[in-house]
Amino acid sequence: MAMSCSSSVRLRLNLAPSCRRRAAPTNLQLLRRVGVAASPLRLRAARATEGAARQPFDHVPRAVEEVGEDEEQRRRSLKIAVVGFGNYGQFLTRTLVRQGHTVLAHSRSDHSAAAAELGAFFFADPHDLCECHPDVVLLVTSILSAEAVLRSLPVHRLRRDTLFADVLSVKEFPRNLLLSALPEEFDIICTHPMFGPESARDGWGGLPFVFDKVRVGDCPARRARAEAFLGIFAREGCRMVEMSCAEHDVHAAETQFLTHTVGRILAMLELLSTPINTKGYETLLRLVDNTCSDSFDLYNGLFMYNNNSTELLSRLEWAMDSVKKKLFDGLHDVLRRQLFEGSPPMDSATAAGSSLDDAPIDGDPHSDNDEEESE
């Protein structure tokens, strides 16, 4: 009996965590399809120490990294962890899966059904996600939650040469965050696909994709992986724009924050379509729809996490005040009374003389209009 119990315990200890946590057998099959090795069952309290002990073995040996890769390897499919599987994460996943990449999705909310529909694999537990050893960890979070999400990831369970990338609408903030939070061995590419589900509904061709190779290891394998990741967007026809994160934020203050600000100001006016819409007015209505369909958190993030936004907001206020001043400076009190209250009153003698002098000779009934125009 004792030996029977002991054998039973040993059998249970050899079960993979995925088997223990997921009752449905299809989940194990999905994990095998993405090449996830089964790991022994262990207590959650011992995870941190075990991860620290085994992390050096996850590091790809330098001798292997230095091996040159041919063209086929450079175009290899990637295992990409999409962290943040909301609308934008799902939008990107459609293209990633279509191109043949393996997508591992993680989010605080349960998007397992959406992931299955798109052909991705959903992980509710970030430990399970990181133990799959993705080639790329792609942060697709809001600007406001980026730091909390990043620090919640057990990065000690990843390979030391893992590539981290983000798609936030500001760039200096995530650059500094990734550099400070990640080990030096991790590669970092900051990106900004300047389009979304609405603007890219007809494809990504010609749409700008901004990127900055913040830190990429100097070996063929890691350079090839970075190029393979960027190649995802180049393959879709994006206009690839390489620039520093600082330069991006200078331009983004105008191209994004200003656009969203004007759109939200117009939304406060509650503009409606009319029977006599002009092309310009219809453009304004579309601007309201495009900007206000995004969450206020996104707009607030564009302001809070871009050093250039405050200055631009001040310039916008100055420009509005300047236009108003130019209008009101030309509107004198007398002219205003003439336009809206009639001509100023005159004394009776002046009025009598004026009526004789100005009497029409030919009795033209429209002389009053001519007189007004001459004034």
Domain span holding position 265:
248-329
For residue 335, being part of any structural domain is answered with no
For residue 56, being part of any structural domain is answered with no
pLDDT at 204 > cutoff 90: yes
Same structural domain, 165 and 113: yes
For residue 172, being part of any structural domain is answered with yes
Q: What is the pLDDT of residue 347?
A: 57
Same structural domain, 150 and 295: no
Residue 184 tokens read as 């030096």
Query: Which of 243, 261, 278 marks a domain boundary?
Result: 243
pLDDT at 177 > cutoff 90: yes
For residue 348, being part of any structural domain is answered with no
Query: Which of 212, 243, 274 marks a domain boundary?
Result: 243
Q: What would the pLDDT profile of 305-360 be if each residue is shown by its tens digit?
A: 999 999 999 999 999 999 999 888 877 766 777 777 765 555 555 555 545 455 45
Same structural domain, 90 and 124: yes
Of the two residues 340 and 194, the one the predictor is more confident about is 194
Average pLDDT over residues 61-80: 59
Q: What band does 13 get if pLDDT is binned at 50, 70 and 90?
A: very low
Q: What would the pLDDT profile of 300-320 be if each residue is shown by its tens digit?
A: 999 999 999 999 999 999 999
Average pLDDT over residues 220-230: 97
Same structural domain, 94 and 119: yes
- 149/31 Cα distance (integer angstroms): 23
- 350/348 Cα distance (integer angstroms): 6
Average pLDDT over residues 148-158: 97
For residue 53, being part of any structural domain is answered with no
Same structural domain, 270 and 224: no
Average pLDDT over residues 30-40: 48
E strands along 96-235, which residues?
Answer: 102-106, 121-123, 136-139, 163-166, 187-193, 208-215
Same structural domain, 77 and 180: yes
CA atoms within 13 A on the CB side of 326: 6
For residue 257, being part of any structural domain is answered with yes
The answer to whether 213 and 189 have CB atoms below 8 angstroms apart is yes
Of the two residues 187 and 7, the one the predictor is more confident about is 187
Q: What is the pLDDT of residue 357?
A: 53
Question: Which of 56-60, 220-224, 361-365 reaches the highest mean pLDDT?
Answer: 220-224
Q: What is the pLDDT of residue 190?
A: 99
Same structural domain, 256 and 210: no
Same structural domain, 218 and 325: no
Same structural domain, 110 and 131: yes
> Which phi and psi angles does 210 have, rounded to 5°?
-95, 140
Q: What is the pLDDT of residue 335?
A: 79
Same structural domain, 74 and 196: yes
Q: What b/e string do you get for 238-277 counting C-beta neighbours within 10 Å, with b at 16 or more?
A: beeeeeebeebbeebbeebbbebbebbebeeeeeeeeeee
Query: Alpha-carbon Rg of the chain, whole angstroms?
Result: 32
Number of domains comprising the chain: 2
Same structural domain, 156 and 276: no
Q: What band does 72 get if pLDDT is binned at 50, 70 and 90?
A: low
For residue 207, being part of any structural domain is answered with yes
**Average pLDDT over all residues of the chain:** 81
Q: What is the pLDDT of residue 348?
A: 52
Q: What is the pLDDT of residue 33?
A: 56
Closest to 191 (Cα-Cα) out of 116, 80, 331: 80
Q: What would the pLDDT profile of 92-109 be if each residue is shown by its tens digit?
A: 999 999 999 999 999 999
> Which phi and psi angles does 14 have, rounded to 5°?
-90, 0
Same structural domain, 185 and 275: no
Average pLDDT over residues 262-274: 96
